Amino acid sequence: MTTKGLILTTLFLTSFIGQPVSSAAEWSGVVSTEGRYFFEEGDFGQEQGEFSVALEPEFYHRWEDTDWSIVFKPFLRWDSLDDERSHADIRELMVRYVGDQWELKAGVSKVFWGVAESQHLVDVINQTDFVENIDGEDKLGQQMVVLSTEQDFGLLELFVLPGSRERTFAGEEGRFRFPLAVDEDNPIYADEDGKQRLDGAIRWSKWIGDWDIGLSHFSGTSREPLFVVDSTNPVQPMLRPLYVTIDQTSLDVQATKGAWLWKLEAMSRSGFNEDRYWAAVGGFEYTFFGVTESGADLGMIMEYQHDSRETLPGGYQQQDVGVLGFRLALNDIQSTDALLAMSYADEQSFVNLEASRRLGDDWKMILEARLFSVDEDQGPNSSLLYPFRNDDYVSVTFERYF
Which pLDDT value is given to residue 382?
66
Task: Dump strand ranges (E) for 43-197.
Answer: 49-62, 68-79, 87-98, 103-109, 142-151, 154-162, 188-189
100 alpha-carbon distance from chain centroid: 32
Alpha helices in 227-356 (DSSP H): none
Is residue 198 within 8 Å of 164, Cβ to Cβ? no
Q: What is the pLDDT of residues 74-112, one digit of tens each?
A: 999 999 999 999 999 999 999 999 999 999 999 999 999
> What does the pLDDT average to over 329-335?
96
Question: d(Cα 158, Cα 239) in Å, to the nearest integer?
Answer: 35
Q: What is the pLDDT of residues 112-164, one digit of tens each?
A: 999 999 999 999 999 999 999 999 899 999 999 999 999 999 999 999 999 99
Which pLDDT value is given to residue 4?
46
Question: d(Cα 210, Cα 215) in Å, to the nearest integer?
Answer: 17
Q: Classify each residue of 247-278 as buried b or exposed e, where b means 16 or more C-beta atoms within 10 Å of its C-beta.
A: ebbbbbbbbeeeeebbbbbbbbbbbbeeeebe
Read off the pLDDT band of 380 (50, 70, 90). Answer: low
Question: What are the structural domains of the chain?
Answer: 3-401 (2.40.160.10)
How high is the mean pLDDT of the chain? 91
Read off the pLDDT band of 228 (50, 70, 90). Answer: very high
Is residue 198 within 8 Å of 162, Cβ to Cβ? yes
- Of 161, 117, 122, nearest to 142 by C-alpha is 161
> Percent of the chain beyond pLDDT 70?
93
Question: Residues 6 or more apart from 194 whose CB is under 8 A from it?
Answer: none
> What does the pLDDT average to over 272-282?
90
- A 10 A CB-CB count for 118 gives 24
